[in-house]
Amino acid sequence: MSTATVHEHVDVPQPPQHGRPGGYLRRASILTGLVGGIGLALVVYWVGSLWLVPWGTTNAVTNLQVGADALWAATFAGWVIGFMAGIGAFAGPIRWALGRDLTHADAEYLAGRDQGKWRYWRYTTDHKVVGVQYLVMTLILFGVGGFLAMLIRTELGVTWAEVFSPDFYNSIIGTHGIVMIIAMIIAITGPLGNFVVPIMIGARDMAFPRLNALSFWLLFAAVPPLIASLFMGGIRDGWSVYQPLSAQAPTGGVGYQITIITFAISTGIASVNLITTTVKMRARGMTWNRVPVFAIGIIASSVMGLIWFPMFQYSQIMSLSDRMISTSFFNPLGGGSVWLYENLFWLLGHPEVYVIVVPATAALMEIVVVFMRKPLFSYKIAVAGFAGIVGISSIVWVHHMYMTGWAPSTNYPFMLSTEMISIPFGFLVLVLLGTIWRGKAWARLPMLAVYAVIWNKVVGGITGVYLSDTPVDQYMHGSMFVVAHFHFMLMGAGLFGAMAAISFWFPKMTARTFDERIGSIGFWTAFIGFQVTFFSMFVAGLQGQPRRVLQFDGAFNVSNWISTIGAYVIGIGMLIFLAAIIVSWRRGPAAPANPWGSKSLEWQVETPVPLENFPVLPVVTSDPYDYGVPDPYEVKEPAEAEDAKVGAP
């Protein structure tokens, strides 16, 4: 991308500096956060045990002690509030209320200037630090979710014995599901949306730096209650935790609810920040038809998350209310509605598929133009595809409820809308294929991964068309076929797309060269294992094997053995890919500023990226995808100009 620069210097009036820059934040870190969170949780538990448990009335419907649920809800909330206070999340608002707002020196300290690696363990506002924090958190969540997946496949593969109790097995399934959903939602938007997008659009930081740090640490605080819930009875009816069934589950369900409420706040803050940054902070000359398609995909994903995540949050707030104070939002005996919960849940539950897949697809488009050295095939069709997905995603959720009996007259209209969303999604696949068509690819890992993801998207898309059809869904509903389908979309497109994106932007994020030899071995090992695992599940589903069942007929043994073998192959591949990340990050050769020869702005800044990204804000004068198109602003020597006239090479 050709750029020009302008020199600006504006003196901004500063409030008086009180003490050393940073104030309390000089002492705050993840350690003080842990102390604050654990400390407040213990205090709340002790005080609550003196009042709530003796008070503990019994819910007439669930026959559970309301006091115990309220006690643990308060304890988990105390953990979140105490952790956020301890790490320094409230320092800015408190100083503002006291009339001691942050100065420029305070802001630079908060951004991590001259703090070295310690800034990654603090409430740091630099978008690049937040992006790396999200990356590490994503890897941890994938590790936890992957470990639980191995436990599930072990149980299903050992067909001659019962490895886990039915209750614990169901808890593993539910916890695995929500952990992986959270991990997939943040897999690209978290690390790359934060690190790459501001530089890509020519900004020095996010629009709201302190909110950016807040979004990450709220995510961090949301995870321990979910992990704790696994040891408190867990969630035993899948990641959807349908009401009022889950209200009869043990207290572990409260941890799940606190996690979702906190995570929804985190995603809402992050979505507002990403949208505002891209809309209002683009470099001069970056008109909307010059905005990189990855930034467009991040906006589309953020809009869907901002609209639909509150629905999920509301469902859990009302569920928690039913458990704690015996309301009846979802209890039919008290005048509530089970269908209300299902609608609220699936209003997020299906659009989240696109929240995951859209950023991955946008990342693939950035990759394919670089490694094909061709302009993107119809930028406008790509944008239309994203817009169509955002629009139609709001009218597809009911296909998850065909079998519930809710509003059966709406089944066929929602069948039509669900099938219609394959059209804008097909636009995105066609843009990728059109860019690849008749090109000569630079065969590096990110580009080869594009082919793998396109295959997975096609398989997932075709099988999704079957499930959107009401009569077919009545047969497939609740079967392993459904499990295989959504794994092809979420994991096959989302996770493998994230692996491609991480290997592409890894040099810019870490200033190290990614070891493609080890990374390729891990990627293709996992890809092969993925095909084995889930194609076998398609077969099991067509045979009639239900999901979320501990024991089943011997007719499904072979399919389950094959799927379990494939799952362990996936695990091995993922561990190898993780090893490539760790080894490259620690000992990889220093990366050049632009190893791929890309034209987008994030590759034009030096590596490691400076604190303020650009010493002088850029002015954009050309399209980021005009590979093979002469630059009209390029100044040529006289001899070169004469050669160009006569067509000399």
Q: How confident is the model at residue 9 (pLDDT cuts 50, 70, 90)?
A: very low
521 lies in some domain: yes
Which stretch of 14-23, 225-234, 308-317, 595-604 has the lowest confidence by average pLDDT?
Answer: 14-23
Same domain for 463 and 325: yes
Tokens representing residue 57 in the block: 């009335």
User: Could you tell me the pLDDT band of residue 11, with boundaries at 50, 70 and 90?
Assistant: low
Rounded-to-integer distance, Cα 619 and Cα 615, Å: 13
Task: Locate 505 and state its tokens.
Answer: 């932007």
- Are 495 and 505 within one domain? yes
- Same domain for 585 and 520, yes or no, is yes
Is 442 among the domain residues? yes
Total number of domains in the chain: 2
**What pLDDT is attached to residue 52?**
61
pLDDT value of position 626: 85
pLDDT tens per residue across span 436-448:
998 899 999 999 9
How far, in Å, CA of 218 to CA of 37, rounded?
12
Of 66, 90, 123, the residue at which a domain comes to its end is 123
Tell me the average pLDDT of the chain: 89
- Regarding whether 171 and 90 lie in a shared domain, the answer is no
Establish if 615 belongs to a structural domain: yes
Q: Is 328 inside any structural domain?
A: yes
> Which amino acid would we find at residue 186?
I
- Per the structure, the complete domain to which residue 115 belongs is given by 22-123
Q: Which string of DSSP letters, residue by residue, matches 250-311?
A: -THHHHHHHHHHHHHHHHHHHHHHHHHHHHH-PPBT--GGGS-HHHHHHHHHHHHHHHHHHH
What distance in Å separates the CA atoms of residue 369 and residue 627, rounded to the nearest whole number? 8
Percent of the chain with pLDDT over 70: 92
Same domain, 545 and 595: yes
At how many degrees (to 10) do helices 516-543 and 445-468 cross? 10
The 10s digit of each residue's pLDDT in 266-283 is 999 999 999 999 999 999
Q: Is the pLDDT of residue 27 over 70?
A: yes
Neighbours of 260 (CB within 10 A): 26
384 and 294 co-located in one domain: yes
HEC assignment per residue over 462-515: HHHHHHHCHHHHHHHCCEHHHHHHHHHHHHHHHHHHHHHHHHHHHHHHHCECCC
Q: How confident is the model at residue 53 (pLDDT cuts 50, 70, 90)?
A: low
Do 157 and 88 share a structural domain?
Answer: no
Asked whether residue 115 falls in the same domain as residue 167, the answer is no
Which of these ranges, 46-50, 121-125, 435-439, 440-444, has the smallest mean pLDDT? Answer: 46-50
Q: Which of 123, 157, 178 lies at the terminal end of a domain, its last residue?
A: 123
Residues 247 and 317 in one domain: yes
pLDDT band at 592 (very low <50, low <70, confident <90, very high): very high
* Domain assignment present for 641: no
Residues 261 and 401 both lie in one domain = yes
> 505, 195 in Cβ contact below 8 A?
yes
CB 570 within 8 A of CB 526: yes
pLDDT (mean) for 542-553: 89
For residue 8, tell me if it sits in a domain.
no
**Contact between 337 and 370 (Cβ < 8 Å):** no
Q: Tell which residue, 229, 224, 319, 233, has the closest CA to residue 263.
A: 224
How confident is the model over 632-645, as pLDDT tens digits?
A: 544 444 444 444 44
Average pLDDT over residues 66-82: 89
- Predicted local confidence at residue 565, as pLDDT: 97
Cβ 608 vs Cβ 593: under 8 Å? no
Predicted confidence band of residue 549 (pLDDT cuts 50, 70, 90): confident
Q: Is 268 left (phi over 0), alpha (psi -120 to 50) or beta?
A: alpha
Cα atoms found within 13 Å of the Cα of residue 605, Cβ hemisphere only: 26
Residue 353: which pLDDT band, with cuts at 50, 70 and 90?
very high
Residue 465 lies in a domain: yes
In a domain? residue 642: no
Q: Does 398 share its domain with 437? A: yes
Give the pLDDT confidence score for residue 66 in this predicted structure: 58
* Over residues 8-18, mean pLDDT: 64
- pTM equals 0.92
pLDDT at residue 6 greater than cutoff 50: no
Pull the structure tokens for residue 177: 């599901």
pLDDT at position 473, please? 87
Residue (of 273, 206, 451, 494) closest to 362 by Cα position? 494
Domain match, 90 and 149 both = no
Selected residue with higher pLDDT from 101 and 402? 402
CATH number of the domain at 541, please. Answer: 1.20.210.10
